[in-house]
Each structure stands twice: as C-alpha cells, then as structure tokens.
C-alpha cells in the first residue's frame, strides 16, 4: 500500500460554526413551535370540554373520555399540519376537512370557524343573505389575493350553510307573526305643534313625567315637534299617541267628539276633547228634556259624546249633547 504522506496533517476547513449555529436556531424554532402547538391544543381542548359540560354532557363517562382523547389528537394533528410538521393524523384530517392538493397548493374551506382557525387561517369570510341571494359580505384577508376557484368554493359552501340554517329556522317559524309579542319593545311617532311643546312638557317636566309614569313609556320630543313614544304595551302607547295627537288637533264646528267632564258649574259643565281643547256644555244643551241640576246627568270624569256647535269670536268652544239627540230622533 502506497503511503501518501502528502495528505497527512491536512485539516479540512469549512463553515462548521455557521452550520452548527443554523442547526441550533432551527432546533430552537421547532421547540418554540411545538410549545405553541401544545399550548393552543390545551386551550382548545379545555374550552371544548368546558362548553360540553355547561350544555349538559356527561364528561365523566368512559365513552366521552375515549372520544375526547381522539378529538384531542385531531386538534393536535391539525395544528401541527398547518404549521408544516408531519403528523400521523394528517391524511385522516385531510379527508375530514376536504383539503385539495393541486400543484403543491393545499387549502381548506371551513365553515363556522373557531378562534384558532381564524388566527391561523388566511381568510375570514362572512356571507349573509337568503335562499334567493346574497345581501352582504365581509372579508378579512391576510394574503395578497385568492384564486377564483377558491372564491367559488367558499361562496358555494356559504350558500349551502345558509340554506341549512334557513331550513332549520323555518321549522320553528316559517313566517313573521301578525303581531309583535306584548313584551317586545315598540315605538310610535307623532307630531305636535312646536308652540305646544312647552305646554305638553309642563313646568319642570311635570306633565311629561306624569304621562311616562302612568303609561310606562319613554317620550322623546325633538325641537321640530317630532315625538317618539317607546314602550312594550301597545295599548299604553296608543293612549299616549291619542293624548299627544290632541295637541295638533284643530276643532271643527259640526263634528262629534269624545269628551271628558273636567268641571261642573251651576250653568253647565266644562268638557275636554283634547289637551288644551276645552269648552262649555251649557245646562240647556245637556238633553232634549229639561235638566234642573247638572249633577243629575253628569259627574266629574264622565266620558261623553258631544257635538261642537260653535267657536265664538274669542275662540271659545261650545258643545251640545242635545244636538246629537235631536239628530237621532229626526
């Protein structure tokens, strides 16, 4: 054997330090990734178990323990696969979520995503609409763009999910109810003259506060005279609407009104047909028959029908029951 002394003592030099540093950096990154995966896996699994327990599932039984262990491995495998690490569960997971692999591109379109999927995914896409079409969309994108085939798949998957949800909703309620629940909040608009706003509110808000307390409503009046009446009892809202409408009502001679007796005098009674709209019902106009005392036919608070017969030069209202009785007899 020939002795090649020329190779003795030769040291092969190379970038060993750089290679070692790269390997150390890579190992550190792997450990950090695996730690993050373990932490996320723990959080997701704990949240799932907590939610199931809160909704009534028996998490102590042997069957659940076995199944939760399997689900945990699926979660771990999904996280590892999405971060580029091989895992025995990868093929199984690909079949579950329907991952397509074309020309080295891998993607999955998931519906009803979890927080971790939202965090790790490239797209958060919300689609709203009906069976007939889309009414609104909103997208958060972490990459420069999406191929049209992925968009088509996402929209088709959203349509299928939307249709399923609508079908389930229709099983419970196929059409809107004719009337709102008596407990549902309701609102009604009414206009009152701007010069009557102060009168309606009253000194220090006395009048409006009394109405709100009595009828259990909230009233908001704008400077324009537009008022919003809000409450849950429609009957009470209607009563307040009637009260407030009275402020814009213009009395017309010859018309019949629903009136309330607010004062009784020897010569007749004063009746109110709307807020700020009061007038005299003279004793001679109480009936077609003779009335000796007003109290014989009326008392305070009575609700009666009266006819407005005249508005005098001083803008005073004159009412009559007698005119209505004569009309009925004729």
- pLDDT given for residue 25 in this prediction: 55
Q: How confident is the model at residue 31 (pLDDT cuts 50, 70, 90)?
A: confident
Whether residue 10 has pLDDT greater than 60 = no
Output the CA torsion 291→297→300→304 (10° steps).
-110
Whether residue 275 has pLDDT greater than 80 = no
- Here the tokens at position 74 are 């699926």
Write down the mean pLDDT value for the chain.
Answer: 81
Reported pTM: 0.41
Total residue length of the chain: 330
Q: How confident is the model at residue 254 (pLDDT cuts 50, 70, 90)?
A: very high
| Average pLDDT of the residues in 197-223 | 93
In the numeric block, the tokens 């971060």 are attached to: 83
| Chain segment 226-241, per-residue pLDDT in tens | 999 999 888 899 999 9
Please tell me the least confidently modeled range out of 90-104, 193-207, 268-282, 302-316.
Answer: 90-104
Better pLDDT: 165 or 24? 165
The edge-to-edge listing of strands for the beta sheet with 218-221 is: 186-191, 226-231, 218-221
Residues of the chain with CATH 3.30.1370.10: 186-248
Q: How confident is the model at residue 188 (pLDDT cuts 50, 70, 90)?
A: very high
Q: How far apart are CA 271 and CA 110, in angstroms?
A: 71
Q: How confident is the model at residue 50 (pLDDT cuts 50, 70, 90)?
A: confident
Whether residue 54 has pLDDT greater than 90 = no
Whether residue 2 has pLDDT greater than 50 = no
Q: How confident is the model at residue 145 (pLDDT cuts 50, 70, 90)?
A: confident
| Chain segment 153-186, per-residue pLDDT in tens | 999 999 999 999 999 999 988 888 887 777 788 8
- pLDDT given for residue 92 in this prediction: 60
**CATH number corresponding to 256-329:** 2.40.50.140
* pLDDT above 90 as % of the chain: 39
Q: How far apart are CA 217 and CA 19, in angstroms?
A: 78
CA 230 to chain centre: 17
Residues of the chain with CATH 2.40.50.140: 256-329
- pLDDT given for residue 185 in this prediction: 86
- pLDDT given for residue 262 in this prediction: 93
Q: How confident is the model at residue 95 (pLDDT cuts 50, 70, 90)?
A: low
- pLDDT given for residue 229 in this prediction: 95
| Average pLDDT of the residues in 291-308 | 92
CA distances in angstroms from 149 to 18, 83, 251, listed in the order given: 44, 24, 70
Whether residue 26 has pLDDT greater than 70 = no
Architecture of the structural domain at 186-248: 2-Layer Sandwich (3.30)
* Dihedral pair phi/psi, residue 12, rounded to 5°: -80, 115
Better pLDDT: 60 or 216? 216
- pLDDT given for residue 23 in this prediction: 46
């Amino acid at each position: 054997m020939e002795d090649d002394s020329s190779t003795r003592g030769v040291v092969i030099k190379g970038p060993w330090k750089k290679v070692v540093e790269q390997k150390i950096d890579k190992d550190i990154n792997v450990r950090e990734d695996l730690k993050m995966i373990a932490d996320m896996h723990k959080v997701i699994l704990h949240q799932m178990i907590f939610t199931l327990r809160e909704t009534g599932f028996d998490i102590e039984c042997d069957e659940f323990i076995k199944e939760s262990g399997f689900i945990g491995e699926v979660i771990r495998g999904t996280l590892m696969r999405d971060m580029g690490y091989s895992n025995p569960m990868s093929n199984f997971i690909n079949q579950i979520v329907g991952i397509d692999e074309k020309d080295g591109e891998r993607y999955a379109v998931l519906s009803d995503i979890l927080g971790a999927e939202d965090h790790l995914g490239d797209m958060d896409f919300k689609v709203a609409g009906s069976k007939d079409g889309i009414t609104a969309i909103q997208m958060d994108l972490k990459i420069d763009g999406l191929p049209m085939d992925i968009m088509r798949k996402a929209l088709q998957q959203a349509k299928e999910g939307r249709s399923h949800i609508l079908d389930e909703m229709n099983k419970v309620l196929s059409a809107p109810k004719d009337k709102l629940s008596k407990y549902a909040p309701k609102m009604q608009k009414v206009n009152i003259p701007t010069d009557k706003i102060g009168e309606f509110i009253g000194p220090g808000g006395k009048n409006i506060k009394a109405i709100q307390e009595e009828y259990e409503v909230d009233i908001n009046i704008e400077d324009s005279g537009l008022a919003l009446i809000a409450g849950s009892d429609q009957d009470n809202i209607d009563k307040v609407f009637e009260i407030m409408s009275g402020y814009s009502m213009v009395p017309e001679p010859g018309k019949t009104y629903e009136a309330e007796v607010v004062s009784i005098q020897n010569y007749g009674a004063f009746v109110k047909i709307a807020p700020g709209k009061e007038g005299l019902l003279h004793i001679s106009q109480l009936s077609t028959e003779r009335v000796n005392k007003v109290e014989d036919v009326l008392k305070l608070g009575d609700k009666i029908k009266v006819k407005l017969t005249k508005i005098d030069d001083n803008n005073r209202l004159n009412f009559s029951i007698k005119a209505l009785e004569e009309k009925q007899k004729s």
